[in-house]
Each structure stands twice: as structure tokens, then as C-alpha cells.
Structure 1
Amino acid sequence: MNLLRFAVRRVAEMAATLLIASFVVFGAMYLAPGSPASFLLSGRSASPEAVAAINAQYHLDAPFAVRYLRWLGDMVQGDFGRSFTYRTDVSGLLADRLPTTLLLIAMALTVVVAAGLFLGRIAAVRGGATDAAVLISTTIAVGTPSFVAAVLLQGLFAVKLGWFPSSGSGDGLLDTLWHLTLPAVALALYLIGMLARVTRSAMLEALDSEHVTVARSRGVPERHVIRRHVMRNALGTVLTTGGLIVSTLLVCTILVETAFSVGGIGQLLELATSTKDFPTVQAISLIIVALFMAVNLLVDLLLPVVDPRITLGTKGAAA
């Protein structure tokens, strides 16, 4: 299938999925117990007139379908509504906090790719004691949830040793990078183990393939065999886990940001959920869905580039 046609079709599917997701997100929030009006009143008793005024101000008195269509139209125009908690535009909150979360995810993803590929490569190539050591370490990593890693790293490197800040996101680029180092490692630890194991398995499979045997029989240096034939063939399998890795980062960043008090959208989502800040929860949820779908589209487009054996089929990228 033509690459442009494939991309256009996938973008159309993404738009349809976002539309369905928007309805689910909007409807699910209004099925939750309690109401925005009760939160806005902070538990104080109010006259029916006061409650009616609040409902009218936030369009809570309109029928569900009208509220949804009005909200959807505003979202399309970039208007995410007004936060119940902060009493300000949600778009302003997102503009302040989203860059921090994206930087944290980028740092964690860099650590995952660098460490995961390295560990998986040396385990497959060297074998023996090195392979056993990598398997043991990755088993520990995979068995350590992000919030547990956050607590352990914070207690050791921030509180006991004082090498890194224990909370906050810093001021300025370098200070922000310093503050986000421990959260990025905590976020990446589980995924390093997963990617290392995927890389190891893919490379071991490639090492047993016929074309690798032929290349070795022709006297091709081992380092070239590993780089050109083994690692390149394994990258296709590794790349298919990209969507899972990013989706895990998007979900786990909520826990890690809360543990380190990082002022990103993860911590904002946790607070907004606990306070029934509907507009904020809805906006962040849709952003996460959109990011996840964009990553999956990027992976599908890169697969044929990384591995020419993979072609774009009528239902996506298929070998």
C-alpha cells in the first residue's frame, strides 16, 4: 500500500477513535458519584438558587447530549474549558505542565532505549555468565513497579546520600534535567528490563538464521555480522514494542510525578481526579489517548524503513 494512502487512512482511523474516546471520557466522568457543583461548594450548604446558578455557569443544567456536543466543539477549537479546582483555563494549566511531562518521558525513553538495547545485545552476543547476569538483573527490574522504584531511589539517592533533589521540577533547563533524573530512572527501570529481554530474544533468533551462518562462512568479521545482519533484523521486533513502552510511560508517569512532586500533567491528573475536576481530567485523558495513537502510527511508518521485509498491508504494517 502507498505510504501516503496508509498514513491518511490511519489518521482517519485515529480521528474516529478519538471521537469514540471523547464520548467515553465525557460520559464516564458524569457517571462518577457526586457532582461538580458539590465540589465547587466545598461541602457548604447552599440554596437551590445558588446551586442552579453554578450549574448554569458551567452548563451543568443542559441535557447530556447538548453538554457533550458543546464540549466537543470547544475541544476541537482548542478550548478545554475552565478548571473547577484552579478556576482558570485548562489550556493554560496544560501549557505550563505538559512540557515537564514530555521532557520526563523523553529522558526516561532515552534511558530505556540506551540501557535496554545495550543489555540485550551483550546478553545475546556474549552469553554465559554475562547472559545470566543480565537475565537476573532484568528479572529484578521487571519485578519492580515504578512507584516502588521511585520510593527506593528517592530514599537512597535523594534523602540518604543527597545526590539528587527529592522533589520538584527545578528552574531552567539544566536544573530541570537534574530534578528529573531520579524520576526518569524510576520510570525507566521496569521498561529497561522488558526491552533488554525483547532485544536478547530477537537477537538470539537472528543469530540462528541462515543468512547469518552464510555471512560467517564467507569470512565476514563478527562485528559486521552483529551490526548489519543480527542487530538490524532484531530492530523490527524491538520497534514493535515502542507503542507498549510509550503507553507504559504515559501511565506510570502519574505515579512517579506524584511521588517526586513533579509539576507535570501526571500529578495534575491525579489531583484533578480526586477533586472531580471534570474539564481537566477529560482534557488530559484525551491528550494521553492522542499521544498513544500518534506513537503507534509512527512505529507503523518506521517499521518498513527499519526492516524492508515488512510492508504496509491493508490493515496496517504486516510482515
Structure 2
Amino acid sequence: MSVMDAPAGEPRSTQRHTTTPGRAARPRRLRFVLGKLFSLLLTLFIASLAVFFSRFLVPGDPARFLLRGRSPKPEALVEITRQFGLDKPAWEQYLNWLGGILHGDWGRSLTYRQDVSDVLLNRLPTTLQLVALAAVFITLLGLLAGIIASLNKGFGDRFILVTLTAAGAVPPFVAAIALVALFAVQLGWFPSFGSGDGFLGRVWHLTLPALALGITYIAFVARVTRSSMNEQLVREHVEVAMSRGLTRSSVVVRHVLRNALGPILTVSGVMIAGLLVSSAIIEQTFGLTGIGQLLVQSIDRLDFGVVQAIVMVVVTAFVVVNTVVDLLQPLIDPRIAAGTETR
């Protein structure tokens, strides 16, 4: 029976309105992206509430701190309190603080008596360079060790696995001491103090701190890479590709490593964002003037404006990196994209 011959009451299932798959998927992808951006903004808003109001739980009066070592007069306390806006209600202080952040004004430092943004900008480049170099080491060494362990079964795999387990158990400050003792004191290859001048000087001075900061993460990324690749190597499509005569390197790059990048990217993104938090110990050990060292000093001196700014910078970096990873995963693995679109 043709479509024209079908009874009037019978639905003409053969008369379909075709829709381009790409057009149908675009609104879903857009909703996915907008949902991630909304989650990012909501997380940052909740984090700002927690960061700002947590200062009221800390014992100590910032105004009295500014005058410690002296007997403060009531007039001096009133002036300091008014100057830094500490006399206003908590909710008004929060709105002023949040509005200032949106306009690039983080307030004034109680310790340095200058804008918090200026204090951060003087320290932030060192920390960013340290984290960037550590991220390079984590990505390159972690991926390389994981790939070698996955593709070389037997002694090579066991040796790398044992080495990674031992490296992952080493705290950053212990790794820093060991690296300084070997490469700075014994061999004299790298300096053990300061951040250096110029691009090459910075890289040379930050090599040991970056390795000490990233050694635990290198081990973890390598283990995740090894596990993810081992899972992909036994998949049917890999065996089919090998049976068609494709070279081993081509199969590994196109069918194994690409499909294994999902969990590797997720873990790497989370850990690289966490490097900002871990940098404080390394900066103290190597005498680097970064925001990690500044955070420790500001907490000790009750410099709330600087502490709040650094914590918000770290939280923002963590949330943004995780959001970017979530947005990149569907582009790397089409299966995730398909799963996202069917939500």
C-alpha cells in the first residue's frame, strides 16, 4: 500500500519531517554550555559568601592588629575602623567588597597599606610561572610514563608502577629537600633559592621547585594514563584496527590514546588547578615571592583583604579549569557528546 492509498484515519508514518541532526543537536549543546556557565557563576557566588563571612569567625580585631605593640587610643581605633569600612554592617561590607571586585578593586591591605590588587600583581607572576612549569612537567612526564608502562608489559611495567607508587607517596617538601640536596648541592646544576631574571633565568631557577611541586601529580597522572590505556587496548575496535594492517603507533595514537584522554584530561585539570594551593610550601622552601608565600604571611598577620583575594583567585582558577575540562571532554570523546545531547 502506498502513502496515497493509506486510510484517512491511519497515521502516515512514512511521511516524516526530516531534521538535520546537527540542527537538532545545537540547542542541546547550547543548553549544556549555558548550564556549565551558570554552575560556574553560582559556585563563585557561594564561594564569595563563604570567603567573605568566614573572616567573622576568626578571633582577633584587624584594627587592633594595625596598632599592636602600642596602646591604642579609642580615637585611633575608630579612625582605623572607619577608614577600612569595618564599622558598617556585615552585609553592606560584603556588597561593597563584591562590587569592588567586579570593578577590579580588592580593597586595601592592612599590612602593606596599599591596594590588594597591587600586592597580588607583584607576587602573582612568580606563582603562575611556577604552576605553568609544573603543569608542563606533569603533562609530559605523566603521559610519557603512563604510555610506556601500558605498552611495555612485564618488567618495564612493574618497574614503572613501583617507581610511580613510591614517587606518589613523597610529600612535596620532602621532594624539595631531596632535589636540592642532589641537584643543587651535590651536582650544582640548579640554584636552590630565588626566582631568577629573564625567561631562561626563570626557567632555570623554577625547575627544581616545579618538579618538587608536581612529583606527586606526575605519579598520579601516569597511573591514570596507564590504567585508561590498558582499558582501551583490549577494546574490539583496537583489535580490528590492528587486523587491518595499521601500524602499532597509528593504532595507539588514533584509537587508544585519543579514547583514553577523557579521564586523563579530567584528572589533569583538577590537579593543575590544585597546584595553586600546594605552591605555598614550595615557595617557602625555595624562597619564592609568590602568592602562596603571601597567603601564609597574610594569615599570620590577619590581613583579611589579602587572604580573601588570594582564596578567591584560587577558587576561581579551580572552578574555571574544571568548567573548561567539562566543555572540552565532548569535543575529545564523541561518546560523551552523544551522552550529553540525550540528557
- TM superposition score category, shorter chain reference: over 0.9
Residue from 288, 296, 301 that aligns with 2:322: 296
TM superposition score normalised by structure 2: 0.88
1:161 Cα deviation after fit:
3.0
C-alpha distance 95-135 of structure 1, shift in aligned 2 (>3 A): same
Contact 2:64/2:72 (8 A) holds in 1: no
Structure 1 stretches lacking a partner, 5+ long: none
Distance in 2 between the 1:47 and 1:162 partners? 55
Say yes or no: does 1:25 pair with 2:51.
Answer: yes
Q: Which one-letter code corresponds to 2:250 in the other structure?
A: H
Shift of the 173–130 alpha-carbon distance from structure 1 to 2, 3 Å rule, reads: same
Report the AA paired with residue 84 of structure 1.
L
- Could you list the structure 1 runs, at least 4 aligned residues long, displaced by more than 4 angstroms after superposition: none
TM-score, scaled relative to structure 1: 0.94
1:62-118: CA deviation from partner (whole Å, max 9, x where unpaired) = 111111111111111110111111111111112122122111111101101101111
Contact kept? 1:94, 1:265, Cα under 8 Å: yes
Give CA-to-partner distance per residue, 1:225-265, whole Å, 9 cap, x none: 21111111111121121232123312111111111111111
Amino acid paired to 2:160: V
Q: Distance in 1 between matches of 2:339 and 2:78?
A: 55
Please, which moves more after superposition, 214-223 or 224-233? 214-223
State the Cα distance separating 1:21 from its structure 2 match. 0.8
Matched, 1:230 2:256: yes
User: Following the alignment from structure 1 to structure 2, what is the Cα–Cα distance between the partners of residues 84 and 286?
Assistant: 18
The alignment partner of 2:335 has SS state of: coil
> Equivalent residues in 2 for 1:1-319 (5 A)?
2-311=28-337
CA contact (8 A) 1:242 1:299 kept: no
Higher Cα Rg: structure 1 or 2? 2
Maintained 8 Å contact 2:283/2:293? yes
Identity %: 50
Q: Distance in 2 between matches of 1:41 and 1:155?
A: 42
1:26 Cα deviation after fit: 0.8
Residue pair 2:270, 2:321 contacting (<8 A) in 1 also:
no
How far has the Cα of 1:275 moved from its partner? 0.9
What amino acid is aligned across from residue 33 of structure 2 in structure 1? A
| 1:256-283 superposed Cα distances (whole Å, 9 cap, x missing partner) | 1111111111111111111111000101
CA distance in 2, matches of 1:54, 1:228: 64
CA RMSD of aligned residues (A): 1.8
